[in-house]
Amino acid sequence: HCNIQYSPNYGVALESNAYFTAFTNNNLANITNHPIKLDANSAHTIGTGNTITGSSSTKGIYVDGGTFDKASETWLAQTVPYVLNGTIYIQSSAGSQLTIEAGVTISFTQGSQIDVSYGSGTYGTIIANGTSSAPITFTSASPSPTAGDWDAIFLEDGTSSNTSFDYCVFEYGGGYNAYTGIIDVTNANISINHSSIQHSTTYGITLNDASYFGTFDNNTFSDCATYPISIYGNYAHTIGANNTFNTTLGPRVNEDELSQTGTVTWHKLNMPYYIDGTLYIQSTSGTTLNIEPGTQIKFTQDRKSTRLNSSHTDITRMPSSA
């Protein structure tokens, strides 16, 4: 219940993992720099009922890069964004979970990123489940944002399958390198639904190695400079049917052995699948790839061999009355 105002620098600055035991119902106004500055491991201690007004509202809550290693904490919605500077690692040997409340905006300074389970033998989870009326936004901190302003959300090997993004907006990222999307997944499975991925200087989402979607539906892609999704062939069937690609290309299916036992289905999308390299459809017990009616499959020309190779398998077009 305090007023913190007319500071020529920060309003409140917490250094070296200092934190609030309580911080509620405060008003921060007319502060020249960021109203609050603190570390990633302390941002969850900002409580409810705070307002940031006047010139202070043009800058967000400044969160320094570092490691979030708490067992389970939540970043609560405030009246301004959280501004991430540097790399925030979500990880610990016992597992750390960061939940982001519906309505939160997280903006990134140039070259900043979130990295889940980057360290060897570490585990992490990020849960960002917004709502249709209060989405969660991951965006650029620049007042004039452009694609590639910030790097990416990296989800590494130790990322929990509980990781979930629902009703989120991901925009103006992809600045890490030419091969990494706004979201980059390595040997993990995640769920993304009801979300928008837009204004990427490269891909929208890149899935590396044995990465796949737990669920992936009702998402929209737009303004991705290359492919909206890059995924290996064994996991392309995890792209749901109810996604919209307002892009010049459809998902890229990287060369792989589609060795799922039994039957998997490639759903009809509003853009083609692009097979890049050789997709082997085969397993010792037999593999069937069903392709829904109306699906388009295109083959790239920038590889020595781009083809489907089926051995002891079935490739079927699902029956249609049309």
Q: How confident is the model at residue 319 (pLDDT cuts 50, 70, 90)?
A: low
Residue 304 — very low, low, confident or very high, per pLDDT cuts 50/70/90? very low
Residue 199's alpha-carbon distances to 32, 167, 261, 262, in angstroms, are 30, 17, 37, 38
Distance separating alpha carbons of residues 89 and 119, to the nearest angstrom? 9
- Is residue 298 predicted with pLDDT exceeding 60? yes
Look at residue 109 in the predicted model and tell me its pLDDT.
97
pLDDT reported for residue 284:
87
What is the arithmetic mean of pLDDT over 83-96?
A: 98
Model confidence at 305: pLDDT above 70? no
Which phi and psi angles does 54 have, rounded to 5°?
65, -150
The arithmetic mean of pLDDT across residues 302-315, rounded, is: 55
Segment 102-154, tens digit of pLDDT: 999 999 999 999 999 998 999 999 999 999 999 999 999 999 999 999 999 99
> Is 65 in contact with 86 (CB distance < 8 Å)?
yes
Does residue 305 sit in helix, strand or coil? Answer: coil
pLDDT at 312 over 60: no
Whole-number Å distance between alpha carbons of 50 and 79 = 7
- Residue found by looking up tokens 């980059």 in the block: 184
- Residue 286 structure tokens: 């037999």
Q: What pLDDT is attached to residue 301?
A: 82
Does residue 316 carry a pLDDT above 70? no
Please state, as a whole number, how many other Cβ atoms lie within 10 Å of the Cβ of residue 257: 16
The answer to whether 42 and 13 are in contact (CB under 8 A) is no
Q: What letter represents residue 4's amino acid?
A: I
- Whether 8 shows a pLDDT value over 80: the answer reads yes
Cβ neighbour number for residue 73 with a 10 Å cutoff? 16
| Cα distance between residue 23 and residue 11, in whole Å | 13
Answer yes or no: are the C-beta atoms of 124 and 116 closer than 8 Å.
Answer: yes
Report d(CA 10, CA 59) in Å as an integer.
10
Q: How confident is the model at residue 31 (pLDDT cuts 50, 70, 90)?
A: very high
Q: Which residues contact 138 (CB under 8 A, 6 or more apart)?
A: 106, 107, 108, 153, 168, 169, 170, 171, 173, 182
Task: Determine the average pLDDT of the residues in 233-260.
Answer: 96
Q: What backbone torsions phi and psi does residue 76 show, to the nearest 5 degrees? A: -85, 155
Under 8 Å between Cβ of 12 and 36: yes
The model's confidence at residue 321, banded by pLDDT at 50, 70 and 90, is very low
Q: What is the pLDDT of residue 322?
A: 38
DSSP state of 182: S
Per-residue confidence at 84, pLDDT binned at 50, 70, 90?
Answer: very high
Q: Using an 8 Å Cβ cutoff, are 227 and 251 in contact?
A: yes
pLDDT band at 318 (very low <50, low <70, confident <90, very high): low
> How far are the Cα atoms of 133, 184, 213, 271, 293 from residue 297, in angstroms, in the given order?
36, 24, 20, 9, 11
Task: Return the biggest CA–CA distance within the chain.
Answer: 74
Output the pTM of the full model: 0.94
| Model pLDDT, residue 44 | 98
* % the chain with pLDDT above 70: 93
Mean local confidence (pLDDT), 13-18: 94
Query: What pLDDT digit, counting tens, does each position of 158-212 carry?
Result: 999 999 999 999 999 999 999 999 999 999 999 999 999 999 999 999 999 999 9
Q: What is the DSSP letter of 270?
A: S
Six token digits for residue 173: 């990222």
User: Is residue 295's pLDDT more than 70?
Assistant: yes
Output the CA angle 86-87-90, nearest 5 degrees.
150
Predicted local confidence at residue 214, as pLDDT: 98
The DSSP code for 294 is: T
pLDDT of residue 58: 74
Tally of residues, the chain: 322
Q: What angle do CA 109, 66, 205 make, to 5 degrees?
A: 55
Which residues, listed in sequence order, are joined to residue 232 by a DSSP beta bridge?
A: 254
DSSP 8-state class, residue 24: -
Taking the C-alpha atoms of residue 236 and residue 240, their distance in angstroms, rounded to an integer, is 9
